[in-house]
Amino acid sequence: MGIVSVDYEHDRVYTPEQLATANQYLIAHARRGGLVTVTWSPLGPWMNDELDLEGNPGDWTDTRTNAAFLSGGADLRDVIDPTTEVGKVWRRKLERIADALAELRAAGVVVLWRPMQEMNGYWFWWGHLLKGDDSTAYQDIWRDMFRFFTYERRLDNLLWVYSPAQNRDSADGEQAAWVKDSDWAYPGTRYVDVVAGTAYRDDLHIPNYGDYLALPEVVAMAEFSAALMGEHDRDGDLDTTGRSPSFHPHSHFPPELLHDRLRLPEALGCPRDRGNLTWSKVESVAWGSKWRRWNNRCQPWSGAAPARRASLPSGRIT
């Protein structure tokens, strides 16, 4: 038993056909008893109107706050305003993603749904840099998405994962000053099922674990690995740290091998039946083992028995 994890966007806007292909792997894994998590790192709706997905798919830089649209004075609230052009693009985007999630629902797959992660950081367009200390715009976007997916599209197979970045007590004190508290944009218990943060540290310390426990949801770790430019990161790109290779364009693995990477941990000797309660980098595939790429060694989990899909709640709609 393990977890298969994919990102429905991040590196480009994927066509419905491409998402359907990815879903087949997720469905097959779920039917073997595994868990499925889908992260969604959407490209900025200011950058791509999604009218030509094949000809203009965009790229990962369109998820970042240094994207060109920022210089135009973008307003996050436009995203959920249906009278704006950005709002129309956003709803088009939500429909495309909801269609993909509906395929998983029809197949009986429960999804750990992790949208717009690390919102308390400054690197994504939905992070705090665009709104300063005001987190209400992000919270409104999350709640609007929740209502649309849950009540309009009836996606009762989603477990909503709030995933902040590590902040205070960070290994990088300068970065810690630029990252808000873990609960800075917390949308509220009605809209969240799981709190699962991210941490990249060589000492494998989770700096905000106590903050996560202060919230009422189930707690896990969504991204947990060695530090960028740390002892185990040779290239400074996070593709050589202790997790599966990412799907970034600058990865050592070409895009056409995306689906082959679903089998990569097994190929390196990490069997699927070694599971823990964390899942790996969102663009990666994790079989639940603590795989350390720098020495290609699979370290079995010796803790409590991992959770299985059958033990998860089926959803909130009755």
Query: One digit per residue, pLDDT tens: the chain, 318 residues?
Result: 588 889 999 989 999 999 999 999 999 999 999 999 999 999 999 888 999 999 999 988 888 876 555 555 678 889 999 999 999 999 999 999 999 999 999 999 999 999 999 998 888 989 877 666 789 999 999 999 999 999 999 999 999 999 998 875 544 555 566 788 889 999 999 999 999 988 877 777 777 888 888 898 888 888 877 666 556 555 555 444 444 333 333 233 333 333 333 333 333 333 333 222 333 333 333 323 233 333 333 344 344 444 444 454 444 433
What 8-state DSSP symbol labels residue 138?
H
Q: Give the count of alpha carbons within 13 A of 43, CB side only.
A: 24
Give φ, ψ of 114 to 5 degrees: -125, 80
pLDDT in tens, 86-137: 999 999 999 999 999 999 999 999 999 999 999 988 889 898 776 667 899 9
Catalogue the active-site residues. 118, 223
Going along the chain from its start, the domains and CATH numbers come out as: 3-311 (3.20.20.80)
The crossing angle, in degrees rounded to 10, of helices 85-106 and 16-31 is: 30
Parallel/antiparallel/unpaired status of strands 111-115 and 290-292: unpaired
Is the Cβ–Cβ distance between 62 and 48 less than 8 Å? yes
Is the Cβ–Cβ distance between 119 and 60 less than 8 Å? no
Is the Cβ–Cβ distance between 141 and 126 less than 8 Å? yes
Instruction: Residue 61: count other Cβ atoms within 10 Å of its Cβ.
Output: 14
Give 192-195 contacts, CB < 8 A, sequence gap 24+.
Answer: 192/160, 192/161, 192/162, 192/217, 193/159, 193/160, 193/161, 193/217, 193/218, 193/313, 194/112, 194/159, 194/160, 194/161, 194/162, 194/218, 194/219, 194/220, 195/161, 195/162, 195/163, 195/164, 195/219, 195/220
Q: Which amino acid is at 192?
A: V
Distance CA 18, CA 42 (A): 16
pLDDT in tens, 71-83: 556 788 899 999 9
Distances, alpha carbon 60 to alpha carbons 41, 49, 63, 124, 279, in Å? 9, 15, 6, 10, 21
> For the chain, where are the alpha helices, taking DSSP H only?
16-31, 85-106, 136-147, 173-178, 209-213, 264-267
Instruction: Residue 83: count other Cβ atoms within 10 Å of its Cβ.
Output: 7
Does this model's pTM top 0.95? My answer is: no
Task: Name the E strands within 155-257.
Answer: 158-162, 194-200, 218-225
What 8-state DSSP symbol labels residue 6?
E
Nearest to 235 by CA among 294, 281, 155, 180: 294
**Residue written as token pair 């028995």:** 305
